[in-house]
Chains A and B, each alone.
Chain A
């Protein structure tokens, strides 16, 4: 299964990529929302997206709203991974269509549980 992590921090992309690989999946990386949109338009079929909120250019929430309006991508579950930890932010993201919400800092165990939950309990 192919997943996509979108974060302007290379370290966060590596952390998420490592967790995804442990669970037997592949993870593509995008350092901006625009790069992610280009990847989604490419040949790879993405089945889960990890999304940062605060990024230069298009932010995570704008990206989420964009793909949820697109018939081709709106079914892809999105896990928001962010330092935005205020209740109003979580509500806004849920209303916009995130499947899971994880706040930084997180442990690798928490992250893996969210991935498994997002896949309906399915692990390779």
Chain B
């Protein structure tokens, strides 16, 4: 289905990823791009990030995502768009986001995927709290 979004409690696993490919299996697409976002064990002022706790304003994320999908569809000839985003505590090196785009040809799929990931980062009301090994935390700020 075009433009589906799903929140996953906890980390995104290989099972979730295979769901994406199964969902697109019969779409007659030629190019599939999967972007996955991973919790990076950043070291900030000498302290290591051990996890990120994600929260979201879920009904608004869903509405905003529909607008993003409309924008991408109007600009690119894409066949499917999926977003899985984690909620809750995700440990360093685990996956917290999967963005899947398919199209007939790779050029369109690459471009649509890049634009989609950027829009997800800037337009969706989702927040990450970086938890340090010491138990302290700080609110994540997205970098370009």
Pairing of A with B: no
B-to-A contact residues, CB < 8 Å:
none
A-to-B contact residues, CB < 8 Å:
none
